[in-house]
Structure 1
Amino acid sequence: MWNEAVIFRLALPYCLLISLIVMCSAGAGIGGEFQVMSMVKFDSNGDQFGCRTFAISLEAKSLYTWSTARHVVFTRLLDISLNDFNKIRQKSGGLIIMLPSNVSILNNEIKEHITILEQAMLFQSVPIPVYFAPFNTNLERILNEISYTTRKNINQNETAFVQLITSISANGYHVTVSGASSSANKNSKIPVIYGELIPNHFVGNYVDNILDENNLPVILITASLKTFGIFNDYPLNADAAVLMILMEIFSKLHSVTRMTPKYSIAFLLSDSGLLLNFQGAKKWLEIEESLTLQGVEYVMCLDTIIQSLTHNEKDVLFMHVSKPPKEKSSISQYFKLLKMAADQHGKNLTVEGVHKKINLAESKLAWEHERFSIKRYPAFTLSSVKAPKSPIRTSIFKDDKSRIVTEIMVASKIISEALAAYIYKLDQLPNIFNGYLEINDQIVMSYLEVKSILENNDIKDGFNKYLKNVKIIYDKADVREPDFLFYYGNDVNMNVYRVKPAVFDLFLTIVIGLYLVSVYLAIQNFPRFYLEVSKLSKNSHSLGAVNGNLYNNKWKLN
């Protein structure tokens, strides 16, 4: 007969093998690999903005089921509110937001909600890692599974036992994001490009009393090229497109015999804007102010000339000034011409003036023209938004191109007709931008996707083609006290693994423990069980023998 030690030694490995198989069957499975975009991170004027950390290795929970810093919240952009975000950034371990498949088809109320949330996220320091995932059907399925136990399900009249079983049987997901770097870019710099459109000397021979180009009055047109938003992608750059359009059509106008104006039109474009406190204009004023702005009549700044998303407001082009212009001043004259152009070509677009004093106590300026107004240059900003804190100014989301292209054509037409009337000293609009000088959709499309000078030479080639005295300067961040600073943060991969929830691990541990205890007790008591079975076997054998003898004796008597 086998002793207890032999049985235990032979049976235990098989018991542990069975337990290992059970545990492995409940292990992690690959849910998928997805490309995500990290929330932008930058510094401006000593203030930090954007998310500060990047690595994630946590259990994914829905917007309604997360509870601790051990959870990463996975939700849709349309579902999260500003209050939800504030709670998540303070108490959770991370946030992953799936973007809509098509923002342009959403109604105006939802678009407004998105831009307000976007602005709130962008203008604060976020201590947790935040990622944006483009819409993906597989990711949508995972999000639906994570959101199975929603607030609606929790409020149903279910017993505690049913809820426990549901929690145990549910699938969970573990999210891992690694490889992202949050180190500062020590070579952070902002390119600023400048050029002048001055009368051609060969054409100028036909113009009576042409002025020397060094003494010509100057009109400066500026815009900012937005290179990032809530994540690392290009927002709508309608301002840069309008500036390039004005540059092209007025260059053609300058080449026409006897139509060369007695003005020098200068163009300034920089890779900065509201988010960087118009750092490019500030740097350019420090270097080129005394050389370029002698005789400047006004500075026209373009800021959100077209709204990237449709809105509920009426179509208005606002002229923002730091102080009301005096009657018959250069700005007042152009404002009247602009209103006249809007009446003729605006398609229900109107022009209104907005006066706002410069608040020198604020670390950030409201509009770019304030950079020039501080230096006592006559300046204004043309914008489609009235409030300087409008969230649409920093939105990275865009509508379909058809509406945008149409509105850019209208805005360019109005600005150019008013500008032509001003430089030719006309009381009525010349209406000359037709035919050869017409602003069409092909011109708009060629400039709508322009990118930074740091990435390609499209802008530089355009400036060199149409302008003279082209200069490019780079505003580099100071090593000790930088006015701005960028950080590395490229697109990374997010790995999602299918796992069971923590309550399932607890349940599985209890089951395996009970199983091992039962096996151990069975092995411990096997000798006693064997003896009892042996006794029963002997008793049955003895009883069978007695019955057999009785039967034989009965047969013999017969």
Structure 2
Amino acid sequence: MMNEADSLTEIFRGGLPHCLLIVFSLLLTCSPVMPSEFEVISMSKYDLNGQHYGSRVASISLEARSLYSWNTSRHCVLTRLTDLSIHDFDKLRQGAGGLILMLPANILNLDPETKELITILEQSMLTHTAAVPIYFAPYNKDLEKIIDDITYTTTDSPGQNQTALAQLVVTVSANRYHINVGGGSIAANKNSKIPIIHGELIPNQLALKPTESVADGQKLPVILITANLKTFGIYNDYPVNADAAVLLVLMELFSKLHYTSSMAPKYRLRFLLSDAGVLLNFQGSKKWLEVDDNALQNVEFVLCLDTISESLSYTTENALYMHVSKPPKDKTSISNFFKLLKSSAEKYSNGLAVEGVHKKINLADTKLAWEHERFSIKRYPSFTLSSVKSPRSPIRTTIFKNDESRLVEHTLNTTRIIAEALASFMYKVDPTSSIFEGQLAIKEENILPYFGVKSILHNNDVKDAFEKYLNNVKIIYDKPDARDPEFMFYNENEVKLNVYRVKPAIFDLFLTFVIGAYLLAVFLAIQYFPRFYDEVSKLTKEDPAGQSNGHSSERVRMKSH
């Protein structure tokens, strides 16, 4: 019996405790983990006039929390874009450790109120500095389940009416998610530049009067048409560029009309397109005026295109606004064109209203409201045509869009109105007559190829169009100054979002306590097993003696009988 006890003691004193330690260590490291990888896009980041926009932080390695349960910078908030408000964003961009927003599955299915809230949130995010890394994730069912799980865990967290033991059990058994985004370092792009392309329509010599020459044609008043390509929004993607599409279609149409022998032009047409819109304070126009100011020696007016079509419409309003810095006097060029524009809208549109909006230039503001203000400061008569009434409209900066067929239809209609009014003004044609009909009719085939234009330098599509229809085409670049840059872009790295399902920190403490208690019990059992065995042995020895004495007494009693 003693040999068996010694053998059992040797087992406990030998390798068994070490094996148990290894097993428990493996169990601890193999706690439930569910790695998932998702595509994410970093929020746009840029500098303008010394002000930082976007976030300068890229890496995230934090616990995921819902929009309603985060409370420290050690939490990364994972939520839907449609659930975030401006108030929430203001708190998150300063206090959270990170923010990941899942985009809607289909923006078209949202109600008008939600669309409006999204565009307002976009504008707020684009005009503020964020101290935390912000990423956008395309809609994904698995990611949506994780968001639902985080939110469900938050709403079903232990309440005050539960016992302390019940709360402890719920807390220990709960699951958590850990988020990891390896964004690397963010560095300024020293090769940042804004391309600006411009060209002009020179009157055909056949269209001039016999007494006129090409040199005389160069003396004709200039009408400048400008637009800007939107190359980014809240993240680096290409929004709808309806303004550039309208400019390129006008360029194509008037190049055909300008060289018709029966149409003697009264004006020269210039076209200007840059990659800098309202977000970059119209830096392209500013640079062009500094470099090629002589091109506007004899300018009739400058026509700027800005948000001609609402890419994400959530109202039933149907209007075209002419924005000016001061009300035009009667019988001036801008006043006459405004009247022609109204007549054209009445003839070619279904209920489109043309209205004038007057707003003074705020010279104290570093950011201009409209592009025409760049030219008005230089004393050039100018105006902006837009489908939005207020310069603060979030539609101007949204990256989302409605059904493209609706956008094409609206852009096509607006282009026809502007083209007819401009042709009536330039060629002194009766506004009741139609110019762009037959072979000159504006069709979807004219608009669609230009809807996909992304940048002036992208595939040379814009450059080829300018060189095809215009003369004296030039491309200039606005580059930031090395010492005091007016603008700066930042390099973007492709990153992945990794989500791991893990236990909370209190689970590790609880598991450590359980393992410690178990090892302590094993240690005490090993230390006191000999004494325990001796006590058990004594009890087993005493019982047989007592039993034998009982049998002897029984035999004595039987003999006496």
Which one of 487, 491, 495 corresponds to residue 494 of structure 2?
491
1:195 counterpart = 2:199: yes
Cα distance change on mapping 1:207 and 1:346 into 2, 3 Å = farther
Whether contact under 8 Å (2:172, 2:506) holds in the other structure is yes
How far, CA to CA, are the matches of 2:554 and 2:477 in structure 1? 119
Please name the residue that 1:127 is paired with: 131
Which residue does the alignment assign to 1:68? Answer: 72
The separation in 2 between residues aligned to 1:347 and 1:152, in whole angstroms, is 54
AA paired with 2:342? K
Name the CA distance, whole Å, in 1 between partners of 2:256 and 2:180: 56
Q: Helix, strand or coil: the match of 2:153?
A: coil
Following superposition of structure 1 onto structure 2, how do residues 165-176 of structure 1 map, counting pairs within 5 Å? 165-176=169-180
Cα offset, 1:182, TM superposition:
1.1
Counterpart for residue 359 of structure 2: 356
Q: CA deviation at 1:425?
A: 1.5
What are the equivalent positions in structure 2 for 1:236-247 lying under 5 Å apart? 236-247=240-251
Deviations 1:409-447, CA, capped at 9 Å, x for gaps: 011011000000000123424311122112112221110
Q: Give the 5 Å matches for 1:34-73.
A: 34-73=38-77
TM-score by length of structure 1 reads: 0.94
Residue 87 in structure 1 maps to residue 91 in structure 2: yes
CA–CA distance in structure 2, aligned partners of residues 554 and 10 of structure 1: 57
1:285 is aligned to 2:289: yes
Tell whether the 8 Å contact from 2:207 to 2:265 is kept in structure 1 after alignment: no
- Structure 1 residues 424 and 273 mapped into 2: Cα distance closer, same or farther (>3 Å)? same
Distance 1:545 1:15, change over 3 A: farther
Shift of 1:188: 0.3
Contact 1:72–1:96 (CA<8 Å) still a contact in 2? Answer: yes
Separation in 2, partners of 1:205, 1:87? 65
Cα distance change, pair 525–208 in 1 and its aligned pair in 2 (3 A): farther
Is it true that 1:403 corresponds to 2:394 in the alignment? no
Deviation of 1:207 (Å): 7.5
**Following the alignment from structure 1 to structure 2, what is the Cα–Cα distance between the partners of residues 277 and 75?**
32
Which among 482, 485, 488 is matched to residue 485 of structure 2?
Answer: 482
Of residues 341-350 and 147-156 in structure 1, the stretch that sits farther from structure 2 once superposed is 147-156
Aligned-residue offset at 1:9: 3.8
User: Could you tell me which of 429, 444, 449 is aligned with 1:446?
Assistant: 449
Query: What secondary structure is seen at the aligned counterpart in 1 of 2:195?
Result: strand
**Count of equivalent residues:** 555
Is residue 271 of structure 1 aligned with residue 275 of structure 2?
yes
For the aligned residue pairs, the C-alpha RMSD in angstroms reads: 2.2
The answer to whether the Cα contact below 8 Å between 2:36 and 2:500 also exists between their aligned partners in 1 is yes
Query: CA contact under 8 A between 2:202 and 2:218: conserved in structure 1?
Result: no
Indicate if the aligned counterparts of 1:418 and 1:429 stay in contact, CA closer than 8 A: no
Q: Does structure 2 retain, via aligned residues, the 8 Å contact 1:176–1:496? A: yes
> Is the CA contact 1:199–1:262 (under 8 Å) kept in the aligned structure 2?
no
Instruction: Say which of 112, 117, 122 aligns to 1:113.
Output: 117
Partner of 1:11: 16
Q: Could you tell me whether the CA contact under 8 Å between 1:71 and 1:92 is conserved in 2?
A: yes
1:145 aligns to 2:173 (yes or no)? no
Structure 1 CA distance, aligned partners of 2:363 and 2:444? 41
**Separation in 2 of the partners of 1:77 and 1:513?**
45
2:434, 2:213 → 1: CA distance? 23
Corresponding residue for residue 515 of structure 2: 512
Q: CA deviation at 1:395?
A: 0.8
Using the alignment, how far apart are the partners of 1:482 and 1:12 within structure 2? 67
Alignment-mate amino acid for residue 256 of structure 1: T
Do 2:325 and 2:376's aligned partners in 1 also have CA atoms closer than 8 Å? yes
Encode CA deviations 1:172-220: one digit per residue, 9 max, x unaligned: 111111144310000000000001112223x426778566231121110
Instruction: Provide the secondary structure at the position in 2 that maps to 1:48.
Output: strand
Distance 1:145 1:434, change over 3 A: same
Contact preservation (8 Å) 2:226, 2:303:
yes
Q: 1:454 to 1:515 in 2, by over 3 A?
A: farther
**1:168 Cα offset (Å):** 2.2
* Code of the aligned partner of 1:147: T
Q: Which amino acid aligns with 1:11?
A: L
Closer/same/farther in 2, CA of residues 153 and 434 from structure 1, 3 Å limit: farther
TM superposition shift of 1:23 = 1.2
2-side partners of 1:256 and 1:154: how far apart? 80
1:533 maps to which of 521, 524, 536: 536
What residue identity is the alignment partner of 1:198?
I
Corresponding letter in the other structure for 2:419: S
Match of 1:420 in 2: 423
Q: State the TM-score, normalizing by the size of structure 2.
A: 0.94
Kept in 2, the 8 Å contact 1:180–1:489? The answer is: no
Shift of 1:53: 0.5
User: Cα gap change, 1:160/1:7 in structure 2, threshold over 3 Å: closer, same or farther?
Assistant: closer
Cα-to-partner distance string for 1:481-521 (whole Å, 9 max, x where unaligned): 01100001243111111111222222222222222222222
Is the 2:304–2:372 contact (alpha carbons within 8 Å) kept by the matching residues of 1? yes
Distance 2:159 2:31 in 1: 29
Cα distance in 2 for partners of 1:402, 1:424 equals 32
1-side partners of 2:405 and 2:547: how far apart? 100
Task: Provide the identity percentage.
Answer: 56
Gaps of 5+ in 1: none
Moved more, 12-21 or 81-90: 12-21
| Offset from partner CA, 1:4-37 (integer Å, 9 cap, x none) | 687334332133133224313425x233111100
Q: CA deviation at 1:86?
A: 1.2
Shift of 1:557: 9.6
Which letter maps to 1:126?
A
Q: 1:416 to 1:208 in 2, by over 3 A?
A: farther
Contact 2:325-2:359 within 8 A present in 1 as well: yes
For the 8 Å contact 1:37–1:490, the answer to whether it is kept is no
Contact 1:181 1:489 survives alignment (8 Å): no
Return closer, same or farther for 1:549/1:319 CA change in 2, 3 Å cut-off.
Answer: same
Partner amino acid, structure 2, of 1:456: N
Superposition map of 1:365-376 within 5 A: 365-376=368-379
Matched, 1:261 2:240: no
Partner secondary structure for residue 525 of structure 1: helix
CA-CA distance at 1:90 after TM superposition: 1.7
Residues 274, 456 of structure 2: 8 Å contact kept = no
1:186 correspondence with 2:190:
yes
Residues 506-544 of structure 1: CA distance to partner in whole angstroms, max 9, x if unpaired? 222222222222222222222222112222222234345
Counterpart contact for 1:204–1:210, Cα < 8 Å: no
Matching of residue 331 in structure 1 with residue 334 in structure 2: yes
Q: Is the 8 A contact 1:206 1:257 kept in 2?
A: no
Gaps of at least 5 residues in structure 2 are none
The verdict on how the C-alpha distance between 1:503 and 1:148 changes in structure 2, with shifts beyond 3 A counting, is farther
Q: Please give the alpha-carbon distance, in whole angstroms, between the structure 1 residues aligned to 2:331 and 2:441.
A: 30
User: 8 Å contact 1:35–1:491 — kept in the other structure?
Assistant: no
